Structure 1
C-alpha cells in the first residue's frame, strides 16, 4: 500500500499518489506530471484513476495530460461553471476501488460549486475513514476561500460551512490531506505543518471554532482576498484542458546582445532583491525566483513573452518550473552575468535604500514625495504609517498608470521584499525617482515600539 504526498514548491500545492493491489490513483496532479508515473511504476502500480477536488484557480491541472499518458479516467465534481471536457462527473456517494482501498466522493461546495472531497477507506476496516482529501475546503489551520462568486458571497460561505460539517462527520481519526500548505494564495492562516487529523482541526482550527452558521458567513464575507489576472487563465485551462508542459524546462542561454535584441515583453530579473537594487539592467523588473508563484501572474499576461536575468543556471531552471506550472511559459531565454556586464562598462540602474530616519524626515516636510505601502489590505488594517498611501503590490499592474512619474516614491511592505518587486515594476514602467524603505514595517515598529 502506498500513500505519498507530492509537494510543488512555490505554489505550496499538495497532490497525492495512492495505491494498492497494483492500482493507483492521483489526486489533484500538477501540469508537469511525469513524477506521478515514475513513482507509481517504481512501486509496481498502474495509475487507473485521477481525481480532481475542484477547478483550481492558482495552477494548471495536470489531469488531462496524465490521463493521456496513462489511459486513466479523470473524475471531477458536478456543477462546474463550464463543462470540464476531459473529465467524467463524480457525485456524492460514488465509490472507487483501488486494490483494497476505497475512495468515496463527497460533494463539498463552497470554495467552488464543483468541489469534492474524497474520503479514503481501507476495506478491511470499512466503518471509519482512514483519511480525507479535502482539496481547498479544509486546510491545516484554515478553511478555503469563498470569494470566487462575488454575487453569491453569503450563499457560498454558507455552503462552505455545511461542507466542513460534512467532512468533520467522518470522525476525529481521519487524517486530513489538503490541496495546499502554508504560503498558498488559497488561504491566509494555514499552519506550517502539512499533517493533521479531523480531531485536531476540530479542536484547534480557529475557523472550525465558529459553530454558528451566520457568524461563519459574516466572517467569510468580511475576508480580504486578491485574485491575480492569471486566475482567469487557470480557470479556462482547467476546464478545456492544458497542453503538456515543455519537455525541456531549462530556458536557452542568451548572450547580452541576444537579450537586448530578443524583443521580450518583459525583462524579469529573478535575482535576490538586494542584488537587483544594487544594480540591474535598464528596463528590467524585479521578481525574485521564490516570489514568481505569488506575483508573476499579476504582471505577466497570457501570451506575453519573458526573458529572464539570473545569477546562475539553477535560478533559471527553477524560475522556468514555476512559470510552467501557471502556464506563463513563453520564455525566450535566460541571461546570466549582470556583474560581468557591469565590468564591461554596461550602464546599470540602481534602486537606493533608505532607513527609518529618512522616512521620518520626509514625512515631516517632503511635498513631492509619497510613501507607498504595498502590503495587503489585512496587514494595512492591522498597522500602518500615518501619511502613507496604500496600493497592493499586485494591483500596481494597472494602478501604476494613476501615479505621477515626476513624483518621488519610497516603496515599503513588511520587510522590503515586496517593496523591491513593486519598485522594480515601476522602474520597468519608466519611473525614475524611486527608493525602498529597508526593513519597512519591521524597521518602523522596531524604532517606534
Structure 2
C-alpha cells in the first residue's frame, strides 16, 4: 500500500496516487496528468478510479483526460450546481475496495455544495481510519473558504462547521491529506508543511478550536477572500470537462521581428525577476514573475487572449507555460529572451521603473512632492492590520477595475509587503498610461525593519 503526493508548484495544489494489490486510484488530478500514469506503471498498478473532492475553482481538473488515458471511473459528489459530464455521482456511505484498502465516502459540504472527503482504512489492522483526503474542507493549519455562495453565507459556513466535525470524528490517529498547501488562494493561514494528523489539527488549528457553531459562522463570514475572474472559467470547464492540456514543452522562441508583428491584443507577460523588470522591460508588458503566475495571471488575461512570454531563458519560459496551461491559458504564441541591451542596441524601445529605498520614502514624507501618493496594493486584510498613514489601498488583482478611481495626474509610489506585488501593480499602471509611477522596494517589510 502506498500514497504518493504529487504537488503542482505555484498553485500549491496537492493530488494523490494511492495504490494497493495492483490497483490504484487518484485524488484530484491536475490537467497535465501523464505523471499519474507514469507513477502507477512504476509501482506496478493500474489506475481504476479517480476521486474528485469538489469542483475546483483555481485550476482545471485532469479527471476527464486521465479517465480517457486509463479507462478509470471518475467519482464526484452530488449538488455540483450542474451535471459533471465526465463523472458518476457518489454519496455518503459508498465504499470502494482496493485489496485490503477500503475507501469510504463522506459528504462534507461548506466550501462547495459538492465537497466530499474520502476516508481510508487498512482492513488488516483494525477498524479506525488511517487517513482522510479532505479536499478544500480542511487544510493543515486552516479550513476551507466559504465565500462562493454570498447569498447563503451563514448557511454554508454552518455546513462547513458540521463537515469538519464529521471529519474529526474519524479519530486523532488519522493522517490528513488536503488538496492544497501553503501559498494557495484557497486559504489564508495554512502551515508551511504538508504533513499532519487530525489529532494535531484538533489541538492547534485555530479554526478547529472554535467550539461554538455560532462563533465559527461569525468568524467565517468576517473573512475576506478574492476571486479572480478566471475562477468562473474553471468552474465551467470542471463541469463540462476541459480539453487535454497542450503538451507542456518550451514555447516557440520568437525573434524581435516576429515579436513586433504580433497582433495588438496580445498580452506580453514578463516572467523574469522583479529586479530585471524594474531595470528594463518592453513597453506595455505585465510584470508577473514565473512563480507568481498561478496567483496573478488570471486577474489580467482574458479567456482566449493570445499571450507572449518574456523570459530569462527557455527553462523559465517552460515553467511559466506550465503554470498558465493549468489555469486554462492555452494561447501561448511563444517567448522572447532578447537581452535588453541587445534589444535597445537595435534602436527598439524599452522602459524602466524608478525604485525607491526606505530612506527615499522617509525623505518624501519630510518634503512631499506635488501630488504624491503612496498606493498600497496588499490584500485588504494586510492593509487593515498595518498600514502607512496617508496611504490609499487598491488590491493588486483588482487594480484594472479600480483605475478610474485613481487620478492619472498624481505621482504614485506603489508598495506591498516586499515589492513583488508592487511591481506587478506598477506594470498595470504603466500599461494604462500612468506616467508618474515608482516602486517602494522592500515596501512594508523595509518600513517596519527601519522603525
Q: What TM-score results when the alignment is normalised by the length of structure 1? A: 0.98
The Cα of 1:427 is off from its aligned counterpart by 1.3
Corresponding residue for residue 41 of structure 2: 41
Aligned length: 448
Misfit runs of 4+, over 4 Å: none
Provide, for residues 359-393 of structure 1, a one-character-per-residue CA deviation record: whole Å limited to 9, x for no partner: 23434533412210000011101110111110000
User: CA separation in 1, counterparts of 2:415 and 2:247?
Assistant: 39
User: CA separation in 2, counterparts of 1:382 and 1:363?
Assistant: 21
Which moved further from structure 2: 330-339 or 235-244? 330-339
Q: Contact between 2:373 and 2:411, CA under 8 Å: does it hold in 1?
A: yes
Corresponding residue for residue 317 of structure 2: 316
Which moved further from structure 2: 389-398 or 340-349? 340-349
User: CA separation in 2, counterparts of 1:283 and 1:110?
Assistant: 41
Corresponding residue for residue 384 of structure 1: 387
Corresponding residue for residue 232 of structure 1: 232
Is 1:272 matched with 2:273? yes
The Cα of 1:126 is off from its aligned counterpart by 4.7
Corresponding residue for residue 295 of structure 2: 294
Counterpart among 346, 349, 358 of residue 347 in structure 1: 349
User: CA separation in 1, counterparts of 2:381 and 2:247?
Assistant: 40
The Cα of 1:445 is off from its aligned counterpart by 1.2
Corresponding residue for residue 67 of structure 2: 67
User: CA separation in 1, counterparts of 2:324 and 2:196?
Assistant: 30
- Give SS of 2:397's match: helix
User: CA separation in 2, counterparts of 1:253 and 1:437?
Assistant: 33
Provide, for residues 133-162 of structure 1, a one-character-per-residue CA deviation record: whole Å limited to 9, x for no partner: 010011011101011100011110010000
Corresponding residue for residue 50 of structure 2: 50
Corresponding residue for residue 29 of structure 1: 29
User: CA separation in 1, counterparts of 2:248 and 2:172?
Assistant: 45
The Cα of 1:114 is off from its aligned counterpart by 0.3
Is 1:369 matched with 2:372? yes
User: CA separation in 1, counterparts of 2:370 and 2:437?
Assistant: 15
Is 1:77 matched with 2:80? no
- Give SS of 2:97's match: strand
Corresponding residue for residue 133 of structure 1: 133
Q: Contact between 1:57 and 1:235, CA under 8 Å: does it hold in 2?
A: yes
Q: Contact between 2:248 and 2:322, CA under 8 Å: does it hold in 1?
A: no
Q: Contact between 1:281 and 1:338, CA under 8 Å: does it hold in 2?
A: no
Q: What TM-score results when the alignment is normalised by the length of structure 2? A: 0.97
User: CA separation in 2, counterparts of 1:395 and 1:265?
Assistant: 20
Q: Contact between 1:60 and 1:234, CA under 8 Å: does it hold in 2?
A: yes
- Give SS of 2:239's match: helix
- Structure 2 segments unaligned to the other structure (5+ residues): none
Corresponding residue for residue 205 of structure 1: 205
- Give SS of 1:39's match: helix
Provide, for residues 175-215 of structure 1, a one-character-per-residue CA deviation record: whole Å limited to 9, x for no partner: 00000000000001000110000111111111111001000
Q: Contact between 2:102 and 2:121, CA under 8 Å: does it hold in 1?
A: yes
Corresponding residue for residue 447 of structure 1: 450
For 1:83-232, list aligned pairs within 5 A: 83-232=83-232
- Give SS of 1:411's match: strand
User: CA separation in 2, counterparts of 1:43 and 1:136?
Assistant: 28
The Cα of 1:341 is off from its aligned counterpart by 1.2
The Cα of 1:122 is off from its aligned counterpart by 1.1
- Give SS of 1:130's match: strand
Q: 1:30 to 1:425 in 2, by over 3 A?
A: same
Provide, for residues 102-136 of structure 1, a one-character-per-residue CA deviation record: whole Å limited to 9, x for no partner: 11100000000000000001121351001000100
Counterpart among 414, 418, 437 of residue 417 in structure 2: 414
The Cα of 1:446 is off from its aligned counterpart by 1.9
Provide, for residues 388-421 of structure 1, a one-character-per-residue CA deviation record: whole Å limited to 9, x for no partner: 1100000012112332332211100001010001
The Cα of 1:83 is off from its aligned counterpart by 1.2
Q: Contact between 1:172 and 1:199, CA under 8 Å: does it hold in 2?
A: yes
The Cα of 1:248 is off from its aligned counterpart by 4.4
- Structure 1 segments unaligned to the other structure (5+ residues): none
Corresponding residue for residue 339 of structure 2: 338
User: CA separation in 2, counterparts of 1:98 and 1:49?
Assistant: 10
Q: Contact between 2:175 and 2:198, CA under 8 Å: does it hold in 1?
A: yes
Q: CA RMSD in A?
A: 1.2
User: CA separation in 1, counterparts of 2:267 and 2:339?
Assistant: 17
User: CA separation in 1, counterparts of 2:90 and 2:380?
Assistant: 38
Q: 1:248 to 1:376 in 2, by over 3 A?
A: closer
